[in-house]
Structure 1
Amino acid sequence: MQSKILIVLTNTTRYGTTTDPTGLWLGEATEFAQLMQQAGYDIDYVSPKGGFVPLDPRSMKYTDAEIMAFYETPVFQQHALTGSLAPEQVDPTDYAAIYYAGGHGVMWDFPDNQPLQAIAAAIYANHGYVTSVCHGIAGLLNIKDADGHYLIANRRITGFTKAEELLAGKKSVVPFFNQAAAEAHGAHFQQRRAYREYAVQDGQLITGQNPFSAKAVANLLLQNLQA
């Protein structure tokens, strides 16, 4: 059994053509990674371009001692934030699962990245899990299976909602809404109350609604990997 998990992070530094900074939502990476590591899984980090991964400055307001401790580790600093792998450096057969972390930046560089889509499709075809949290669902939207069908078609999934975008004050700047984009590709989008922990599994797909759902995604994944 593969003992590694691949976490996907954004390289996007700003909201589209604005000067408003964005990037990775820190806790969505650290909370998931910490639970996986505690369970004995090794973690690799990849981004669309490789290398530097910016942090969404707003995410630093929602940290705790656990998130900060993981953030400050040399391994996370070096392998996630400054030296993430490029897709061409990744062998999909090494991984039991792929996890797309969020932050608004992913809405610009996840959906159309074909190398990342190929990695996820290969992990899925090898009976691995394709997972995401919050805006990370953007990485799942355009993945297709071996038959050319959207991976999310006829599947129950969740992600950051339109109501949550409104509450975040970003409704007018995002390039699309997750629910509309997912449903356009045949998904059955699920949601619960804004900013409450919620994760859903449908087969090999496990998705979380918002930043407070990273641990729920990790725990669902671990239940399956350890079964």
Structure 2
Amino acid sequence: MQSKSLKKMLIVLTNTTRYGQTTDPTGLWLSEATEFALLVQQAGYQVDYVSPQGGFVPLDPRSMKYTDEEIMTVYETADFQRRALMNSLRPAQVVPADYVAIYYAGGHGVMWDFPDDEALQTIAAAIYGHGGYVTSVCHGIAGLLNIRTASGAYLIANHRVTGFTKAEEVLAGKRSVVPFFNQAEVQKRGAIFTKKRAYKTYAVQDERLITGQNPFSAKAVAQLLLQALAENV
């Protein structure tokens, strides 16, 4: 089981700069990282940032249209600029035993570099294996798709999870360019996909899996995680 002294969380970010073979830019949806980081840091947790390749993390330019004072305050800090956007850790630099939770932030870019990253899957499985939490928001659910337990089963199998829905992809105008739909891939792996109306705040916890539906659900994921951790003290 996890050590109650652990006070660090790992935030996973994308390195993908464009939608597949198009010239349409994508990347991290800014608020999904900053809102989560702000709440858990206020609760006394340290955060580290990792990406599949390490180093530079691009921002989805559309996400800059949906900011507020809290989001901008985190974005403008030297710490976030340096450790999240310019010098994110490589998976090989991460020691899973140091973390009580892993959180996969979204943005469409993750659909290309999260699902098949075995190094990140190993980290998440190890964190879960020592009693930690595996969490995500929006497209970040793509990072959970292929994580397996020690028995070889999909981690999300037989669990209730959520993520960016097909209806939300249609409304976002990205239905024709995404490589898959989260709901369909989740269901292929034996998980139960739950959702609310498009773009409404929604997060669901099932044991030590906590997932949020869309960009407006990052705080809800953080709140569920912090509550769960507090109850385990």
TM over 0.5, yes or no? Answer: yes
Q: How does 1:188-203 map to 2 (within 5 A)?
A: 188-203=192-207
* 1:99 equivalenced with 2:115 (yes/no): no
State the aligned residue count. Answer: 227
How many angstroms apart in 1 are the aligned matches of 2:228 and 2:63? 29
1:148, distance to aligned residue in structure 2 (A) = 0.1
2:125 — aligned with what? Answer: 121
Within the candidate set 109, 133, 140, 2:137 is matched to 133
1:163 — aligned with what? Answer: 167
Within the candidate set 176, 180, 186, 2:190 is matched to 186
How many angstroms apart in 2 are the aligned matches of 1:224 and 1:94? 18
1:68 — aligned with what? Answer: 72
Within the candidate set 18, 21, 25, 1:17 is matched to 21
How many angstroms apart in 2 are the aligned matches of 1:82 and 1:70? 15
1:5 — aligned with what? Answer: 9
SS of residue matched to 1:80: helix
Within the candidate set 91, 94, 98, 1:90 is matched to 94
How many angstroms apart in 2 are the aligned matches of 1:38 and 1:153? 32
> Unmatched 5+ residue regions in structure 1?
none
2:149 — aligned with what? Answer: 145
SS of residue matched to 1:175: coil
SS of residue matched to 1:226: helix
TM-score between the two structures when normalised by the length of structure 1? 1.00
* 1:79 equivalenced with 2:83 (yes/no): yes
SS of residue matched to 1:45: strand
1:20, distance to aligned residue in structure 2 (A) = 0.1
How many angstroms apart in 2 are the aligned matches of 1:55 and 1:185? 30
> Unmatched 5+ residue regions in structure 2?
none
Residue by residue over 1:97-135, the C-alpha shift from the partner in whole angstroms, topping out at 9 and shown as x without a partner, is: 000000000000000000000000000000000000000
SS of residue matched to 2:100: strand
How many angstroms apart in 2 are the aligned matches of 1:47 and 1:38? 23
SS of residue matched to 1:7: strand
1:226, distance to aligned residue in structure 2 (A) = 1.1
Please provide the CA RMSD for this pair. Answer: 0.3
Within the candidate set 108, 112, 119, 2:112 is matched to 108
How many angstroms apart in 2 are the aligned matches of 1:219 and 1:64? 19
* 1:49 equivalenced with 2:53 (yes/no): yes
SS of residue matched to 2:134: strand
After TM superposition, which residue ranges in structure 1, 4 or more long, deviate above 2 angstroms?
A: none
1:175 — aligned with what? Answer: 179
How many angstroms apart in 2 are the aligned matches of 1:203 and 1:46? 24
